[in-house]
Structure 1
């Protein structure tokens, strides 16, 4: 079945949030398949490292071990793998959306997405590290600069994939696109970020409840290998939720470009009079 989400469309705050979940609803199966095949090796490596890390610590403090495993590993290798998993999911999501747009709103195959990921991976990896450092500096200097740069830097990563641009090009274009529309972009991204972390915290709460029941029953379940494996798997599977954030960034990018340049509108105008014009086109909101 052909998907109907129109990416090149001007969206307000509510539409950015709503269409993010609509896009997920229509594409979750091929997206999960792409995550499993492309990001799977990194996720698996992280899970194995996390299990060994917890086992080596003896899981002496069950409650602390659960929190540490879901919120972040305490080893340098664990932090690196966790960060790499997040970056890999982000690149895969942007690549998926880019191919989806190029194919005219059709779900791309995993090999098609992989082709984009291979091409952009190292460029995006380097850019993510540099922009992450810049964001961290902004937060350390003062929270306000960090909050201001956050949506702009996020849009820059999308520009690098969607327009095959360099970091310098994306830096300049990102500020131009978001000008006069910072609040809408920031608001949509913040809402989705809250949803993502709420989902992650839900797993933490469930594991905490299981730990509390275990303590009341006098069980050593939380010190067992099965429990260690479970919390390690959950820790890395939660990273998949960050793909939702990359989707809203993508929609923000296309909305900003449409406001500034009207590319999607021109494409639809050019289709007028063709033999099989596309139907159910969204209303433009300018």
Structure 2
């Protein structure tokens, strides 16, 4: 007997979010990971390359320790153009991955089936430019919140975590998506903070443990090839970047499931849709047990 597919738009508590997160990833593993890697993989790869170039320079002191000639790094050496490019492509990678996750889950929720690569790519080319430009003022606002006082920054970060899902799933303008995030977070801030914190912790553990082993393996191979400690360190950090980006899928699926929980608690559209389908045979969520 096939396992029933995870229903996205439903009320779920703290524990159900994580059980459904891993069940959803298990059920959708192949098409989800292919979409995640192939569509946003270019951004991941470029970020890893730029990060490797920067880390090669940053870890140059390791080579200097071997030669005994030490040259101190200046401010311009640390915060140079490569560093700025690394920050830019890191942001692009995060936004690209979250956009892919939002498009994938939107298609899955609306049609009850896994999207094809063409479906995900078409949605990505449509939404990514808008999401990117919308995200810039949101990121700046969060940074300002952290800069002036940490607590407002934390609050704004929690409020806007599902921002990409709001833009993609509800196809709202910037102003509407901005206010919608505040609207759905009402009376749900603390559970949202808890879910996002634990989801990020789970992602960090998986990415850290596996990334270290893979990174060390790549580093050993690099050292025996180049005999340069700085190049070895750069390879390790680049591999860690790629691995950590792949495991971001855990965090984004958890965020997406909580987004659907928030909008269901606010609007009740999922329940209304199922009630509508009771009189017909077109309900794709038949035989799914749920408590409200």
TM-score category, normalised to shorter length: 0.7 to 0.9
Contact 2:55 / 2:233 at 8 angstroms: preserved in 1? no
What secondary structure, in the 3-state scheme, does the structure 2 residue paired with 1:272 have?
helix
TM-score scaled by length of structure 2: 0.81
From the superposition, tell whether residues 133 and 221 of structure 1 become closer, same or farther in structure 2 (CA, over 3 Å). Answer: same
From the superposition, tell whether residues 155 and 52 of structure 1 become closer, same or farther in structure 2 (CA, over 3 Å). Answer: closer
2:257 to 247, 251, 255: 251
Partner of 1:239: 245
Does structure 1 residue 97 correspond to structure 2 residue 98?
A: no
Contact 1:159 / 1:170 at 8 angstroms: preserved in 2? yes
Partner of 1:150: 157
- Cα distance between partner residues in 1 of 2:57 and 2:149: 38
- Cα distance between partner residues in 2 of 1:57 and 1:124: 32
Which digits, 9 at most, give the CA deviation of each residue in 1:18-48, with x for residues without a partner? Answer: 2112111111211211122211222222233
TM-score scaled by length of structure 1: 0.83
- Cα distance between partner residues in 2 of 1:283 and 1:57: 53
Query: How far has the Cα of 1:227 moved from its partner?
Result: 6.6
Query: How far has the Cα of 1:276 moved from its partner?
Result: 6.2
- Cα distance between partner residues in 1 of 2:89 and 2:170: 28
Q: What do you get for the CA RMSD once the two structures are aligned? A: 3.1
Query: How far has the Cα of 1:17 moved from its partner?
Result: 2.1
Contact 1:96 / 1:113 at 8 angstroms: preserved in 2? yes
- Cα distance between partner residues in 2 of 1:46 and 1:116: 22
What secondary structure, in the 3-state scheme, does the structure 1 residue paired with 2:12 have?
coil
From the superposition, tell whether residues 57 and 248 of structure 1 become closer, same or farther in structure 2 (CA, over 3 Å). Answer: closer
Partner of 2:206: 199
What secondary structure, in the 3-state scheme, does the structure 2 residue paired with 1:61 have?
helix
From the superposition, tell whether residues 138 and 50 of structure 1 become closer, same or farther in structure 2 (CA, over 3 Å). Answer: closer
Partner of 1:109: 116
Partner of 2:92: 84
Partner of 1:65: none
Contact 2:127 / 2:168 at 8 angstroms: preserved in 1? yes
Which digits, 9 at most, give the CA deviation of each residue in 1:86-145, with x for residues without a partner? Answer: 1111111111111111212x1111110111111111111112221111111111222211
Unaligned ranges ≥5, structure 2: 64-80
Partner of 1:270: 276
Aligned residues: 271
- Cα distance between partner residues in 1 of 2:35 and 2:269: 28
Contact 2:6 / 2:24 at 8 angstroms: preserved in 1? yes
Query: How far has the Cα of 1:206 moved from its partner?
Result: 4.3
Unaligned ranges ≥5, structure 1: 63-72
Bigger relative contact order, structure 1 or 2 (CA pairs below 8 A, ≥6 apart): 1
